Structure 1
Amino acid sequence: MAVLAEAWNIKNMLASGERASEHFAYFTVQANLLVIVVMAWMLLVPPARRPAWFDHLRGAATAYIVLTGLVYAVLLAKPEEVWSWSIEFTNAAQHRVIPWLVALDWLLVPTARRIRFGRGAWWMLYPLAYLGCSWLRGGLIDGWYPYPFLDPGVHGGWAGLVWPTGQVLLAFLLGIFLVAGVGRLRYRESGASAREPSPSATG
């Protein structure tokens, strides 16, 4: 579904004349592309052959796409759209169906290695980098911001962004730790991780 939704998005982008530099700058699109990569990896590569950091990539993708749906529902969707399904296919797929499916996958398919909260905190680097790049682009390059809560012109200047941006960052921080916590609880030792020596065993 993620592939179909993004293919439909690209078709609409080409038909409407939307700039690719704007379309692919949306966090929603980037999160969905990351989900496609992670799910394809899970389908094509058996658990024993995945790198040690794959569970963190999968966890980060889960957090990003779930929070994408949450931020859309709370900050971006029109009131009449929040509980309605009579919306565009790509909108429903990328902001509702895919976040739910990826969240279910994270709940039902255990990680091969235990998620550590300290390492899970690194998942915040990408949202922070996205925030910085969006502001640099809008402020110094072409004046375009992907979302209203990132646009100082909408909030009366840069100082006005503290509250809306702070809300989003706090939601991401809490959401990331929640996803990491679920992954930690759903951990199941795989054959590969079972063969890894523990620190005490190696002296």
Structure 2
Amino acid sequence: MRALFGVIRIIAAGVIIAAIVGQFVHSLSYDVPADFFVNFFSFFTILSNAISAVVLLIGAWYCFRVRKDPRWYNLVLACAVTYMGTTGVVYNLLLRNISLDQASTLPWSNEILHLIAPIYLVLVWIITPGKSRLEWRQLWVIIAFPLVWSVYTMIRGAAVGWYPYPFLNPAQPGGYGAVAVYVIAIAGFIGLMGSVVVWLSRTRILRG
């Protein structure tokens, strides 16, 4: 059974990597700015999917080597699940009908990165047996990356005049006040998602 989970993790990681590379190459076919590479990897979607692919490949290695994932890996996987769950919900509620920067989106890649991969990661967390119990204090580890990303995005955006998502751009109606509302709301949602992920790891039925 562990070997089967390992194979599934490899396939899932491969699909995610293919979607990232596909979108990257597709975007390059358009007239892109000089800082395209940095902009591309400044999207939370790209970062969360890239993190997930790496985490899944590491998890696949453990599936073939040991009978149970180590506790540190369980925490890293919890981070990836939280970020991907947030990516899926935020995109499908706020951004699905909005045209984003970085040239035209690639339809199949877009669906994998924003819908299929997030659903897969969340299901993995729910149904995979043998998860280690997370401590509530580890929630701060889970939400650390989104906080750092938010600070980086706002500082770089103010410096170069580019923001990965329209709701983070202070040029919108409401200015920085509107941005603050969105950031607080999304931060709260990430905290909620992380709390659910931790709670699931502590649920006896789902851990068994």
TM-score (norm 1): 0.82
Q: Name which one, 1 or 2, has greater alpha-carbon Rg.
A: 1
Deviation for aligned residue 1:157: 2.4
**Which of 42, 52, 55 is the matching residue for 1:25?**
42
Q: Distance in 2 between matches of 1:77 and 1:47?
A: 40
The verdict on how the C-alpha distance between 1:48 and 1:149 changes in structure 2, with shifts beyond 3 A counting, is: same
| 2:22 is the counterpart of 1:8 | yes
Deviation for aligned residue 1:51: 4.7
**Which of 95, 99, 123 is the matching residue for 2:118?**
99
- For 1:40, the equivalent position in structure 2 comes to 57
Q: Higher helix fraction: Structure 1 or Structure 2?
A: 2
Deviation for aligned residue 1:47: 4.2
**Which of 65, 71, 86 is the matching residue for 1:67?**
86
The Cα RMSD (Å) is 1.9
Task: Decide which moves more: 159-168 or 46-55.
Answer: 46-55
- For 1:127, the equivalent position in structure 2 comes to 146
SS in 2 for 1:16: coil
| 2:156 is the counterpart of 1:137 | yes
Q: Which runs of at least 4 in structure 1 moved beyond 3 Å after TM superposition?
A: 46-52
**Which of 178, 195, 199 is the matching residue for 1:181?**
199
Task: Decide which moves more: 106-115 or 166-175.
Answer: 106-115
Contact 1:145 1:151 in 2 (8 A): yes
SS in 2 for 1:152: coil
Contact 2:134 2:201 in 1 (8 A): yes
Deviation for aligned residue 1:159: 2.3
Deviation for aligned residue 1:24: 0.7
Deviation for aligned residue 1:183: 1.8
| 2:129 is the counterpart of 1:115 | no
Letter in 2 for 1:148: P
Letter in 2 for 1:57: V
**Unaligned ranges ≥5, structure 1:** 80-86, 189-203
Deviation for aligned residue 1:13: 2.6
Q: Distance in 2 between matches of 1:110 and 1:153?
A: 47
Deviation for aligned residue 1:17: 4.1
Deviation for aligned residue 1:8: 0.5
Deviation for aligned residue 1:111: 4.8
**How many residues end up aligned between the 2 structures?**
180
Contact 2:17 2:53 in 1 (8 A): yes
TM-score (norm 2): 0.80
Structure 1 residues 68-108: Cα deviation after superposition (integer angstroms, max 9, x where no partner)? 010001111119xxxxxxx8111111111111111111111
The verdict on how the C-alpha distance between 1:25 and 1:153 changes in structure 2, with shifts beyond 3 A counting, is: same
Q: Distance in 1 between matches of 2:31 and 2:145?
A: 28
The verdict on how the C-alpha distance between 1:53 and 1:155 changes in structure 2, with shifts beyond 3 A counting, is: farther
- For 1:168, the equivalent position in structure 2 comes to 186
